[in-house]
Amino acid sequence: MIRYALACDHEHEFEGWFGSSSEFDEQQGRGLIRCPVCNTAAVRKQIMAPAVAGTKRSLRQTSDPQPQAMMMEAMGRLRRHVEENFDDVGDGFAKEARAIHEGKAEDRGIYGQATPNEVRELVEDGVPVAPLPPEPPKKADLN
């Protein structure tokens, strides 16, 4: 497994694990690699120092994909829970989130789309928001 430090064109930083360098290139070409914060596919590799392990034991720990697979599975469960239990307000998310925060709309869980600028304004005004994890790629789209 290869771990890449990644960033989107909105400068959100995250990491991704790939079976090979060519696997990254192939998935990026198909638009499967997305920012977990804003869901854009405009993602690039960052410069990073290689991981150098001091012992065989630490090498096994750094190359174990299990924690990352568990995290991706948990993110998928979270997304499914939100989609099944919250109201999808589409591109009216910022307006509805603000109305709920101000007590002008029913207090309930919502999800939808907002521009980076809308999200920034909500956060600055103290409206609690969090990014929804991106949809996991379909198994047919992988490898």
**pLDDT, tens digit (0-9, with 9 covering 90-100), for 2-15:** 788 899 888 888 88
Q: Is residue 71 part of a domain?
A: no
Residue 52, CB half-sphere, CA atoms under 13 Å: how many? 2
Q: Is residue 123 part of a domain?
A: no
Please tell me the total count of domains within the chain.
1
Q: Is residue 84 part of a domain?
A: no
Q: Is residue 18 part of a domain?
A: yes
pTM reported for the whole predicted model = 0.51
pLDDT, position 19 = 78
**pLDDT tens, residue by residue, 72-107:** 888 888 888 999 999 999 999 999 999 999 999 999
Q: Is residue 32 part of a domain?
A: yes
Structural domain of 9: 1-50
Within 10 angstroms of residue 73's Cβ, the number of other Cβ atoms is 11
Q: Is residue 36 part of a domain?
A: yes
Q: Is residue 103 part of a domain?
A: no
**pLDDT tens, residue by residue, 17-55:** 887 778 888 888 888 888 888 888 899 988 765 555 555
24 phi/psi in degrees, rounded to 5 = -60, -50
Sign of the C-alpha dihedral, residues 9, 14, 19, 20?
positive
25 contact partners, CB below 8 Å, separation of at least 6: none
